[in-house]
């Protein structure tokens, strides 16, 4: 019934329903781009009118108030364009079908936009936000009274060391597909590991996008590149309906980028980063064969988040403690501009995306993607070593904790005084000098290496 409604809507708007897949993909992507670009103007004007702005503060660097609800425009563009141009494909398995997953994604995305719009305007602590993210994961799992999950559930993985075709006489480690305890999407106690893994993947993706959204255009561009390669690989694998949906998402992201490019006229806020992370997590699982691609393209930001969290815990701090030890902070301390840092992240994402794309459809593709993920890890450690070497060479201090809070301010876990992890950064005044000044305070600055 829902699929028929989508078809009827397209007919009412005189949109042909029998266009070639490649044409639908292009039209859907371009339409989402135009919609996001135009809707962002309206969102920005509305934010200025009602005063919903990210105002300058001690831990901000922009000198004038900037709207922070850009994610609303991207979500609306994605929802509208997908309703017009996305036609669900065949069922993915006995219980899950694309149309169900699509509506679950729309519902979970709407929840993330609403909750984090409130966060962008009034502020929320990390625990209420984590609770909302967990509810979003439950939505996309799609548990139903018939005792099955009708959404996405991570319990099968392509074995990089397995053979191409199943043979019952093979040992488990040579099978083409590995299973996580369960063999189907039935709701059972045995499904708990798969549920937890799906939660970890989805929540981790949302917060990875949120944490790399610390500079104008950085998260928007990286997410857009990742979505573009998900579109291409889905098309190559003949998953045409998923390719169209991914193309629409790609267009919505890139349509926002001109507004978010340095110097940004509007920020995506947690509204945008959470929706983008959620959509990436779902699109990389739909149809299979794209999880390794997402890990390769987003590998450096994901590993950066992991390294920062481990370092905070080792220093006895909360994982959500605000500091400036992310890779983009380190690169800025080296003297790179915001645009140069974006180009670097874009370039790394493009290289590994093209590498993953070249592996698709070839013999032992899963093994080569496994090697690609190892190359991402080596690249991350190479960047860490290079950045630490450059910082030691230049004697550039890294400010770990940001400005000292006022007596009435708490840390990031205070709901009323929450400063998001994705606080934007601009080059400081001393970065153009040959020898930057050092702080005379022994606890304000630290030259702690990334892995120390």
Q: Please write the tens of the pLDDT for every residue from 184-193.
A: 888 889 899 9
For the chain, what is the mean pLDDT? 81
Rg, the chain, Cα only: 22
CB of 412 closer than 8 Å to CB of 381: no
Length of the chain, in residues? 452
Q: What is the pLDDT of residue 246?
A: 96
* pLDDT at residue 392 greater than cutoff 90: no
- Which is higher by pLDDT, 363 or 12? 363
CA distance 305 to 319: 10
End-to-end CA distance of the chain: 57
pLDDT interval class at 452 (50, 70, 90): very low
Spatial CA neighbour of 245 closest among 109, 82, 89, 84: 82
Residue owning tokens 């679950």: 104
Please give the C-alpha separations between residue 298 and each of 326, 349, 356, 375, 446, in angstroms, as whole numbers.
Answer: 15, 7, 12, 13, 28
Spatial CA neighbour of 99 closest among 27, 161, 51, 151: 151
Q: What is the pLDDT of residue 218?
A: 95
- What is the CA 138 to chain-centroid distance, rounded? 18
**Could you report the per-residue pLDDT of 234-269, keeping only the tens digit for each?**
998 889 999 999 999 999 999 999 999 999 999 999
Is the Cα dihedral 194, 236, 274, 319 positive or negative?
positive
CA distance 51 to 65: 9
Q: Which of 102-116, 125-139, 216-230, 360-374 has the lowest mean pLDDT?
A: 360-374
**What tokens were used for 378?**
């080596």
> Before 263, cis peptide (omega within 30)?
yes
CB of 420 closer than 8 Å to CB of 210: yes
CB of 159 closer than 8 Å to CB of 176: yes
* pLDDT at residue 379 greater than cutoff 50: yes
Q: What is the DSSP letter of 325?
A: -
Residue 425's contacts (CB-CB under 8 Å, 6 or more residues apart) are 61, 214, 215, 324, 328, 329, 332, 338
Name the pTM for this structure: 0.83
CA distance 112 to 353: 27
- In terms of Cβ atoms closer than 10 Å to its own Cβ (0-12, 13-18, 19+), residue 103 is middle
């Amino acid at each position: 019934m829902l699929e028929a409604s989508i078809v009827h809507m397209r007919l009412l708007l005189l949109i042909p329903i029998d266009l070639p897949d490649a044409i639908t993909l292009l039209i859907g992507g371009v339409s989402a781009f135009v919609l996001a670009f135009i809707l962002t103007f309206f969102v920005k004007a509305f934010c200025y009118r009602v005063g919903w702005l990210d105002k300058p503060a001690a831990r901000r660097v922009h000198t004038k108030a900037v709207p922070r609800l850009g994610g609303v425009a991207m979500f609306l563009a994605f929802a509208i364009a997908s309703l017009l141009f996305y036609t669900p494909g065949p069922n993915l398995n006995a219980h899950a079908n694309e149309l169900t997953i699509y509506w679950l994604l729309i519902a979970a995305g709407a929840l993330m936009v609403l909750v984090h719009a409130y966060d962008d305007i009034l502020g929320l602590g990390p625990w209420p936000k984590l609770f909302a993210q967990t509810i979003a994961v439950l939505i996309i799992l799609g548990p139903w009274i018939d005792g099955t999950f009708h959404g996405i559930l991570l319990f099968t993985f392509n074995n990089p060391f397995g053979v191409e075709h199943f043979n019952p006489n093979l040992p488990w480690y040579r099978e083409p597909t590995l299973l996580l305890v369960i063999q189907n999407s039935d709701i059972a106690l045995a499904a708990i590991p798969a549920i937890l893994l799906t939660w970890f993947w989805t929540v981790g993706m949302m917060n990875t996008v949120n944490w790399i959204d610390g500079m104008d255009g950085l998260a928007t561009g990286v997410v857009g590149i990742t979505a573009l390669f998900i579109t291409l690989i889905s098309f190559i694998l003949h998953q045409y309906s998923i390719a169209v949906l991914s193309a629409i998402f790609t267009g919505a992201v890139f349509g926002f980028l001109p507004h978010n490019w340095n110097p940004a006229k509007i920020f995506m806020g947690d509204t945008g980063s959470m929706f983008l992370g959620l959509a990436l997590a779902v699109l990389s699982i739909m149809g299979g064969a794209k999880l390794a691609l997402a890990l390769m393209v987003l590998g450096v930001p994901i590993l950066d988040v992991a390294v920062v969290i481990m370092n905070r815990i080792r220093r006895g701090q909360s994982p959500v403690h605000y500091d400036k030890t992310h890779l983009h902070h380190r690169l800025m301390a080296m003297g790179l501009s915001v645009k140069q840092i974006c180009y670097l992240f874009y370039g790394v994402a493009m290289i590994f995306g093209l590498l993953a794309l070249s592996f698709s459809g070839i013999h032992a593709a899963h093994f080569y993607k496994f090697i690609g993920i190892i190359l991402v890890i080596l690249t991350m450690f190479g960047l860490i070593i290079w950045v630490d070497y450059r910082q030691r060479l230049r004697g550039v201090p890294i400010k770990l904790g940001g400005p000292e809070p006022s007596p009435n301010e708490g840390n990031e876990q205070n709901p009323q005084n929450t400063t998001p992890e994705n606080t934007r950064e601009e080059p400081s005044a001393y970065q153009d000098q040959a020898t930057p000044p050092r702080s005379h305070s022994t606890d304000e600055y630290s030259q702690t290496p990334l892995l120390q």
